[in-house]
Structure 1
Amino acid sequence: MDVDHLATLIRRINSSYLELSALMTDPAGMDFDRIRPEFERLEEAAAHRGYIDAAFAYAADRAGAGKYVGAVHSLEYLMRALGLSRSEARSRLQRGEALFAPPKPPPPEPEGPARDEAEEQRRREAEAERLRRQEEAQRQARDAAREAASAEKQAMISRELEHLNAHSEPSYQQLLALALAEAQHRGLEDLRIWLRGRIREANRRGRTPQSRKDPFAAARKRRLSIGAQDADGGAQVSMYLDAAGLAMLQAALTPGRRPGVNASVPAEEDARPMAVRLVDQLMAVVAAYLAADSAHTRQGVGSVAVSMTAAELEGVAGGDRFPSSTGHLLGPADILRLGAARYDLGVLHDDRGAVLDLGRTQRSASLAQRLALFARELCCTRPGCTVGVGEADIHHIRSWLAGGGTDIENLTVLCRSHHSANRDQRDGAGGLGHMDTDPGSGRVGWCPPDGGLLQFNDTEFQQHSAGAKIRRQSGKEDPVSGRPGGG
């Protein structure tokens, strides 16, 4: 690739956008009939970004671009260096892999009866032919993507193709090529409907290389996702289950269909819609699981901790929101429904928000320390991260191998991604930094690989931690930026 030519093109594009934005300072005074065709052409030109973005994401992934932002995964690079959302960064990586990565062979089948030599030869030939068709389809998909299928259409195609089975017919690459070709003359919603129909048919026709229907197709696709909280504190939850999972869920929810079950009123006064009854029954099932004290059913802490200061507890109001160990903000009514309205655990902080002591707990030391870190830090301490302590790891600031003890002063919270990107040797190798404690404020921050100043997690979510609130109240932290202050 001619890098100098690439740089020249990007400078031209940037300059053109700056000039165009300057021309758009007074859109009310423009002759729309005259500018309309030009902006339609601009939209056509911008559609090429979908292919370009996917190609750059694939190049970033191959280069291990996470190292440029002190991380392991290329996803972090796209988010931090380009300012993308997690979903957009993931979408670009998926599109890049679909268009440029060598097609993968289908997953191996479970062990079965031994095949004779002729049958095994036919299987190998069928698999080789399938890979050949996928490679050809991928070349067609790249050509179609270059023909300006918009980035929005390409992202939608990638999302829909996640529902395709491993042994579908046509294959992933073939359907991708077909969908990108259709994108040239179909609108977004029409394309979505068209593609969903083709995916259903491809899954129905799919067979393994041994010409058998894949019995584990649905199980391979099982997943559950929880969206971000909205203004009311709730979130959308979606899942995909195989037949066995559906049967178990249905059986667990059936008792809650009856009026009066999980309700505070008699059956004859229960006016809850069926959808609400099912949610209440699911919550009853989850609560029963969390209340169980069996090692067989409790694989993990399985508790919800809520953080608030003593001052907040004294003056709590209906509209207040308090952070929980699951990474969600809960109101007083939510806390009461959880049954967490009493003093189950106390954490004593100094005026900098550091944890001094724990009380009212008979749990093991490791659990107490995890709860103390929740109260002090709330979430991953890597700058910009909002993963709650319930989904994160506990990290030794000075590594165990280097003599670091399992003491509260030597522990912090790191999400799985940032934990794997921490360089315990503290030498900046691989572009990775490490966590350390600021001697002045006592806060834990990230030290970049070049050994520069510590960087702190100043996200809005982290500012809900009891430690941050106490630092602000005592003047140990700037109330606007959330960074360590003087005094």
Structure 2
Amino acid sequence: MNKQQMTDIVDRVEGALTELSGLMADPAAVVVDEVREGFERLEKIWGAKGFIDAAFAYAADRAGAGKYVGAVHTSEYLTRALGVSKSEARARLRRGDALFAPPGNEPRPEPDPEPGETEEQRRAREEAAERIRREEAERRRREEAAQRKARDAARKAESAEKQAMIIRELEHLNTYSDPTYQELLASALDEAGRRPLEDLRTWLRGRIRQANRKGRTPEGKKDPFAALRKRKIVIGAQDADGGAHVSMYLDGAGLAILKAALAPGRLPGANASVPAEEDHRPSAARLVDQLMVILRRYLDGDSALARTGVGSVVVSMTAAELGDLRADDRFPTNTGHLLTPADILRLGAARHDIGVLHDEQGAALDLGRTSRSASLTQRLALFAQELCCTRPECTTGLCDSEIHHMVSWLAKGNTDIENLTILCRTHHPANRDQRDGAGGLGHMDKDPDTGRAGWTPPDGGPVELNETEFQQHSAGAKIRRRRPPPGDAA
């Protein structure tokens, strides 16, 4: 496909959607009996978008599309250029790999010669090696055929939502499953045309359980670490009440440890300020309270001093806010969450409180060039000043970020506040220290007008600042908002 072909196709799609949107401007005038079949057909046709999205994501990844937005990861290009969420970008890349990347599993090892092996042992070893090579070739053939079948099915699939669900469910497949990932993908996409979404999910989960039970390592053994490989904790976004859903997957040993540690909290009255007979907390809430006790004990333990602030909860607020505190105020933390005064009280008093002094522009005071690594105090000062990654549009908190020298250490850049900023682990590798725009990468620098850290595009354009809603919760941003506009009387 060339540029002109793509332009013509997009123009036709845009024209048709614009026309349809205009016709639907007054839904009360729509005669459903006359148009419903067309809308049913449109929904089925729209399923092809899932295949197209996956194909483009795969092509973009191969082209290193991050360079088009000054990044190194294709997911960053998809989120910034296409406007999709991070989770959707990852999903498209996963679908693209599943449908187009060459299938590849760890090959089975061939037997090594034994010391002093006899001629008969050598022949047996070579026959075994040849058998393994034939089986591996057959497996590759099956997987490639299954992938071709999956691609054909994905092109005809009537629902992009079903395709996305299939890829999510297949994440639970073990490394050495039987059938393989590609074979199950092809089967699931084939079933997608015959089953509604929830029934398809149930069907697929059953097949995944069977495939995991049947799977064997290249040595022909059941994988003893299958569950351990899949361990993870996922923390969701905060909702309107300030809470979030947390899910995890643990192996057997992890489950046993967790259950044993939580067990004391099940008892009425445990971790409560009332007698057992007055403890009306639900059982699930008691387990959460027990987990909080365990975590607080860890954070309050002697290991805290050795962690140099890592694993600490830091809350940022200005003196003005502290003097006019309201119950519904929300204050940012280094973990990327917003806490109410009640949340902060429940955290308890810290062993060492650290305050950060800001100037009238919201900037923190400097420290000198003492070492390459930023000190704990510097990290806290940057947190109070900037709160999160300073690349435009990023909301990643300090806990998931790193401290960056805007003028690199190798170029004699000082480790002081004026030369430091916060960059997340996605944007830090995308910074070009040489400042020459090579590879489509920009660099972090100070904005000459505001003194704030921001991103300079690879073409040398003006510094772009992070103006996200989350960044506006930083103490530095709050102080800047209180300053009178230029030209006003002091």
Could you state the TM-score of these two structures normalised by the residue count of structure 2? 0.92
CA drift at 1:293: 1.8
- CA-based RMSD of the aligned residues comes to 2.4
CA drift at 1:3: 4.2
SS at match of 2:365: strand
SS at match of 1:452: coil
- 1:269 alignment counterpart: 278
CA drift at 1:121: 3.7
- 2:23 alignment counterpart: 23
Q: How does 1:186-225 map to 2 (within 5 A)?
A: 186-225=195-234
CA distance in 2, matches of 1:71, 1:476: 34
CA drift at 1:122: 3.2
Task: Between 247-256 and 63-72, report the one with greater CA deviation.
Answer: 247-256
CA distance in 2, matches of 1:168, 1:217: 10
CA drift at 1:297: 8.2
Letter in 2 for 1:231: A
Contact 1:462 1:468 in 2 (8 A): yes
Letter in 2 for 1:78: L
- 1:99 alignment counterpart: 99
CA distance in 1, matches of 2:112, 2:246: 38
Of the three residues 260, 263, 273, the one matched with 1:254 is: 263
Contact 1:304 1:325 in 2 (8 A): yes
Letter in 2 for 1:32: V
Could you state the TM-score of these two structures normalised by the residue count of structure 1? 0.93
Contact 2:43 2:158 in 1 (8 A): no
Match status 1:148 vs 2:157: yes
Unaligned runs of 5+ in 2: 115-123, 368-372
Contact 2:108 2:132 in 1 (8 A): no
Contact 2:388 2:397 in 1 (8 A): yes
1:336-387 deviations in whole A, cap 9, x for unaligned?
Answer: 11114798111111110011279xxxxx970000000000000000000000
CA distance in 2, matches of 1:11, 1:35: 24
CA distance in 1, matches of 2:129, 2:472: 61
Of the three residues 352, 359, 377, the one matched with 1:368 is: 377
Contact 1:351 1:470 in 2 (8 A): yes
Change (3 A) 1:237 1:107: farther
SS at match of 1:412: strand
CA distance in 1, matches of 2:234, 2:108: 27
Change (3 A) 1:243 1:422: same
1:49-72 deviations in whole A, cap 9, x for unaligned?
Answer: 111111000000000000000000
CA distance in 1, matches of 2:200, 2:236: 25
SS at match of 2:233: strand
CA distance in 1, matches of 2:91, 2:112: 37
1:322-348 deviations in whole A, cap 9, x for unaligned?
Answer: 000100000111111111479811111
Change (3 A) 1:30 1:444: same
1:76-131 deviations in whole A, cap 9, x for unaligned?
Answer: 0000000001111111110000000000113778x999894444443333333222
Of the three residues 322, 326, 331, the one matched with 1:322 is: 331
SS at match of 1:98: helix
- 1:77 alignment counterpart: 77
Match status 1:63 vs 2:72: no
Unaligned runs of 5+ in 1: 359-363, 478-484
Contact 1:106 1:166 in 2 (8 A): no
CA distance in 2, matches of 1:475, 1:425: 37
SS at match of 1:348: coil
CA drift at 1:4: 2.8
- 2:389 alignment counterpart: 380
Contact 1:127 1:209 in 2 (8 A): no
1:134-191 deviations in whole A, cap 9, x for unaligned?
Answer: 1110000001011134111110000000000011111100000000000011111111
CA distance in 2, matches of 1:357, 1:238: 41
Of the three residues 287, 308, 327, the one matched with 1:278 is: 287
SS at match of 2:303: coil
CA distance in 1, matches of 2:396, 2:351: 26
Task: Between 124-133 and 227-236, report the one with greater CA deviation.
Answer: 124-133
SS at match of 2:421: strand
Change (3 A) 1:312 1:113: farther
Of the three residues 374, 397, 403, the one matched with 2:406 is: 397
Contact 1:327 1:379 in 2 (8 A): yes
Change (3 A) 1:373 1:234: same
CA drift at 1:300: 6.3
CA drift at 1:229: 0.1
CA drift at 1:424: 0.4
CA drift at 1:257: 1.4
SS at match of 1:417: coil
Letter in 1 for 2:73: H
